[in-house]
Amino acid sequence: MGLENRKHVCQQPGISRRGFIKTMGVGSMALCLEHQLAQASEHGSAESEVPAGATIPIVLNINQNRYRLLAETRWTLLFVLREKLGLTGSKEGCSRGECGACTVLMDGIPRYACMTLAVEAQGAQIETVEGLMQGEELGSVQEAFLHEDAFQCGYCTPGQVVAAEGLLRANPDPDEQAIRVGMSGNLCRCGAYIHITRAVKKAARNRSGT
């Protein structure tokens, strides 16, 4: 507030000392806020929000392929895999991180795709059950599951296979207890746990050549 304006305020009829102070305080606060907003805009620090339902460009590295697409920030990795990219090996079971049917590998570590946002997965190397195949041939874990009859309905099997793959990369020679712990995040409603444990053991032996 300039000097002339201050004089004008003081000369207004009926203005009190309290009113003058309040007027000056509000003016000072407004000038301060205006200055801060100008600085934020100048340095690009003002935050922006993405409207609900709007899409943003993302890049995902999946099974050694690079995918560019527009995605809503609320979309899960599982939704994008199945509904946008056609990679339906990962199954939707509970949608709340309990059953493990949607398990994928992110940088070699098992993750629930239903609990991972697609935007969060950017920059990671993602592997789905499709990526564990050797061309048209089954991968070593998939072969072991087939040989040991480690499934019944088969719905949970992709997640079981991916979890086993992650376990064997971290521990190439797990004992039975390590297998049970490593596979505990994946549920089999058919109860094929004994066969699943045998399959993981067989895959470990096949990889070691024993």
User: Per residue in 83-113, pLDDT tens?
Assistant: 999 999 999 999 999 999 999 999 999 999 9
56-69 burial: b if 16+ Cβ within 10 Å, else e: eebebbbbeeebee
Supply the pLDDT for residue 30: 44
Judge whether 157 and 190 are in contact, CB under 8 Å: no
Domains of the chain, residue spans: 3-42, 49-100+110-128, 133-210
In this prediction the pTM is 0.75
Examine the pLDDT at 126 and tell me if it is beyond 60: yes
CATH topology of domain 49-100+110-128: Ubiquitin-like (UB roll) (3.10.20)
Supply the pLDDT for residue 53: 78
Which has the higher per-residue pLDDT, 3 or 205?
205
User: Per residue in 145-180, pLDDT tens?
Assistant: 999 999 999 999 999 999 999 999 999 999 999 999
User: Per residue in 35-77, pLDDT tens?
Assistant: 544 554 455 545 567 677 789 999 999 999 999 999 999 999 9
CATH superfamily assigned to domain 133-210? [2Fe-2S]-binding domain (1.10.150.120)
Alpha-helix residue ranges (DSSP H) falling in 52-124: 77-79
